[in-house]
Amino acid sequence: MTAAAPAALTHEQIGVLARAVSRAPSVHNSQPWQLRVRGTEVDLLQRRAVELRRHDPFGRDRLMSCGAALTNLELAIRTLGRDCHAEFQDGDDVVATVTIGRPKAASTQDYTLFQAIARRRSHRRAFYHGRVPPGVRAALVVAGETTGVHVAAPAHLDKLAELLGFATRVLRDDRGYQRELAMWTAHTTVTGDGVPEEALSSEALPVAGLVRTDTPVPDDVVLADRLAAENLLVVCTDGDTRAEHLAAGAALQRIWLTATAKALAGSVITQPLHLTGFRARLVSEVVLPGVPQAIFRFGYPAVPAAPSPRLPLGELFRNESSGGLR
């Protein structure tokens, strides 16, 4: 007698997946992903129409955002009590396919991280205090480490301050870049994407809140002191392939959810990493274990950040699998 094939998901279960994916972080809150549900397989697609020519000319952040969405998708499937397996796809649109397997109880860790999805948000302000116990820091590193992905605190904060200060001045004066950024920070309440004005802040670090034309740049010594008051982790990969961009985004989200579950808050910095030559200098001057893909800053928040908007759930689906979700 052959065992019955794993059951397809119900509309209610698809709704759980959609809400989890929708709450993932994404570059400029562009939500560059879609889902296509095919029985027990779910394709994660990138919306290539989301183009950030100045901020993300090679689509690296778009793929990392899809990686973050993939982490949420897998956590949601496991929390629904199903085994699953994700495979990277090197297609133009499809970036991963998740195969849903047989019933399997979710682990406590999966459940805890799933619960953190709705509470995670970008906290770009200064932290109430930055003393994070070493055991908690270590847990964040472990959450992100996987084959080909390495997570490390940057050494040489004076060098990092110099590089970030330089990047801030370049980005602040780049009119083309600033025009694109303005489009993603001006329209959010109408469309459900983009970064709301109130979510941006440069009180802690100029680069913590997306550098704009009026972002103040402290001198390098002040900046190094501010960096020292924060906790930083850099997500690095062995190489710089599409699969590694996806994996880096998935790792970043596991770190962020682990931090959230431990009452920490944080935000991501990729903006300066897109400047020509910046990552090479970061590797050689700050000492990193691979190609840097994202910087995660974290600490204990004084006040919680507000949730940012999202597109209607119905727009998340490439086919008719939404079951009328809005």
Ligand X SMILES: Cc1cc2nc3c(=O)[nH]c(=O)nc-3n(C[C@H](O)[C@H](O)[C@H](O)COP(=O)(O)O)c2cc1C
Residue 232 is a binding residue for ligand X (CB under 6 A)? no
Distance in angstroms (rounded) separating the CA atoms of residues 258 and 298: 11
Site size with ligand X, rule: CB under 6 A: 22
Name which position in 97, 168, 202, 308 contacts ligand X (CB under 6 A).
Answer: 308
Residue 144 lies near ligand X (rule: CB under 6 A): no
Return d(Cα 23, Cα 141) in angstroms, integer.
Answer: 22
Q: Does 209 bind ligand X (CB under 6 A)?
A: yes
Contact pick of 14, 20, 25, 254 for ligand X (by CB under 6 A): 25
Instruction: Retrieve residue 201's tokens.
Output: 């802040």
Contact between residue 296 and residue 149 where contact means Cβ atoms under 8 Å apart: no
Number of other residues whose CB lies within 10 A of the CB of residue 41: 14
270 makes contact with ligand X (CB under 6 A) = yes
Our CB check for ligand X shows the closer of 26 and 168 to be 26
Determine whether 72 is exposed, middle or buried from the number of CB atoms within 10 Å of its CB (0-12, 13-18, 19+).
buried
DSSP one-letter string for 249-263? HHHHHHHHHHHHHTT
Which one of the spans 103-111, 230-238, 262-270, 284-292 is the region binding ligand X (CB under 6 A)?
A: 262-270
Site for ligand X in 36-75 (CB under 6 A): 61, 64-65, 68
Instruction: State whether residue 225 is helix, strand or coil.
Output: helix
Which token pair is 266?
């944080």
Candidate ranges 107-115, 119-127, 131-139, 283-291; the one touching ligand X (CB under 6 A): 119-127
Torsion, Cα of 281, 284, 289, 290 (10° steps): 50
Shortest distance (Å) from residue 11 CB to ligand X: 25
The CB-of-26 to ligand X minimum distance in angstroms stands at: 5
The contact set with ligand X (CB under 6 A) reads: 25-29, 61, 64-65, 68, 121-122, 124, 195, 209-210, 249, 267-271, 308
